[in-house]
Amino acid sequence: MSDFLPISKEDIKKYGWEQIDFLFISGDAYVDHPSFNTAVICRVLEANGYKVAILPQPDWRNINSFTALGKPRLGVLISGGNLDSMLCHYTAARKPRTIDNYTPGGVMGKRPDHATAVYSKLIKKIWPDIPVIIGGIEASLRRFAHYDYWENKLMPSILVDSKADLLIYGMGERQIVEIASYLAGGASLEDMHYIRGTTYLTANIDNLDNDAVLLPSYSDIQSDKELFAQAFHQQSQEQDPFNGKIVIQKNANNFVVQNPAQYPLTTKEMDAIYDLPYCREVHPSYLPLGGVPAIEEVQFSIISQRGCFGSCAFCAIHSHQGRIIQARSHESIIKEAQAIIALPSFKGYIHDVGGPTANFRHPSCAKQLTEGVCKDRQCLFPTICPNLDADHTDYINLLRKLRALPGVKKVFIRSGIRYDYLLADKNQIFLDELCRYHISGQLKIAPEHISPKVLKCMGKPSKDTYLKFMKVFNAKNKEIGLKQFVVPYFISSHPGCSLKEAVELAEFLRDTDRHPEQVQDFIPTPGSASTAMYYSGIDPASNKKVYITQNPHTKAMQRALMQYKNPKNRALVKEALEEVGRTDLIGMSDKCLLRSDIGRPNVKQRTKFDVYKGRHPKKKV
């Protein structure tokens, strides 16, 4: 097994180092697995000859905890963790969560709110002269002025709050090597202001390209929500590495400057990253504390690609990883599978082989790798682009190789399947093999809603597409003699969804005999189009008004409608149906969402006294 990277002074001494080159501060516990950004970036630096140590979850209330590993020679790298720290801490109802899956034992309170900014400011206070580079999902999606749902206000670029010298957006492996090379060569921070996939603050933009895109300023969008939507749309139009321009936004007295995105990694580059010597375990120091819960979902899973051209409005993956698919080779993936098989705790089941969308294994069309993605149209929405290359052949061959490996009993697919892309493939072999070999009773998919108005805001396929998939899925399982089911995910209170559309969804759940045990309320996370809609009430793409609700009681009614059979929701469902004039759904008809007592025979209810009298509690009275 590979050695873990150092996390203490004692570890650094064991490596024989007098001083480290880079200190990596993370809001997560240290898990040496390629699904965790800390491990990936640090292993990449290690592979390039740099001495790197990790300071996981330092106590931000004690400034001395940040100096525990000594001052690094070249710079401090900071990430809030695999998730935005505010999402780690708070629910859709803005209530504190009870478990942090990225902390030993799932304990809450081991990282601050806005962890990236807090860590960065403390480092700048301790070592004012040391370069501080921030990255990870929290920094990446907060690089421009943005709306913070939990603070319920607009916030400036995280560069302003953090006082960091440079921000890496996107996955960051190529950027960090380039930055490290510059710093090792004695370059200034200004020398690095041309690196793709980075953002920085400057007081002077006179030397920038004339065709750079100037967004409405932070002060402008604070007073005009329409300008906020416009700024988001302009920024999102420039995320393609082939045709994206420099983007500028004034924040206070400085300008945030975003360089064009990094070009997609080649298969060889992807392989090199995932072939690094990860331990694939939590750091052993955490075992007495109960381990790190987040490892459970990914320890026996394989990332086969990154990027997503699905571009759902509520998801920011496409603005972080990009819309162009970057895939690993079969050889690299099989090598990782063999490493998984060798783990003592492996029981024969590979839990997942995929990425943001499992069945995307190549760019959506041939032109993307030379010309980039289309600015003004999506690959799958509102209709499937005629240039879409819907082909599962490579994925099918990969899965066949994996399930043929000695020691593998089953290869599951648990990351998202885009069923509209699956249906677009004229060859339906993948559906057959998916049902035969890669699910176990249930397939989770995400139609998210069924109302055309809401689906338009979401950028998701139509209800008819979902019903078509259900039909072919059920037919296929009948053909092969298996009893398997689809478990659909739906979101409540998304922009565009009023109580009318929520009732429409409830009727659909009734008609399809779906009764979700859990309901996901829409969470406006930084960097997504849906969040821009939620804050501004405007669709950034069309500049048209969109219905939104920020009222907790209305949200509660929408959630209740999705679980209308739960007796606890009866009063909320009744109120919602009355509010939208759908009292026809209250009564004794099979079509009613709320069954009334009208017309029922007068039945005496059992009481505790009946039981005391010796009557059997299940006996009809």
**Better-predicted residue by pLDDT, 603 or 472:** 472
User: Which residues, 6+ apart, have CB-to-CB distance to 316 below 8 Å?
Assistant: 141, 525, 526, 527, 528
Question: pLDDT confidence of 571, banded at 50, 70, 90?
Answer: very high
Report whether pLDDT(36) > 80.
yes
CA 553 to each of CA 117, 451, 489, 557, 576: distance values in angstroms, whole numbers, following the listed order: 33, 21, 22, 6, 10
pLDDT at residue 127 tops 50: yes
> Model confidence over 421-465: pLDDT tens digits?
999 999 999 999 999 999 988 999 999 999 999 999 999 999 999
SS (H, E, C) 80-134: CCCCCHHHHHECCCCCECCCCCCCHHHCCCCCCCCHHHHHHHHHHHHCCCCCEEE
Residues 6+ apart with CB under 8 A from 330: 397, 398, 401
First to last CA, the chain: 68
Strands (E), 218-375: 247-251, 254-258, 281-282, 301-303, 305-306, 326-327, 349-350, 352-354
Among 283, 220, 265, smallest CA distance to 42 is for 283
Between the alpha carbon of residue 619 and those of residues 205, 302, 342, 600, 601, the distances in Å are 82, 54, 57, 19, 17
Candidates 150, 218, 414, 169; CA nearest to 304 is 414
Q: Which of 139, 114, 127 is nearest to 22 (CA)?
A: 127
Q: Identify the structural domains of the chain with CATH numbers, from first to last.
A: 9-194 (3.40.50.2300), 300-440 (3.30.750.210), 443-455+476-621 (no CATH)
The sign of the CA dihedral 55, 60, 62, 64 is: positive
The pLDDT tens digits for 3-21 are 999 999 999 999 999 999 9
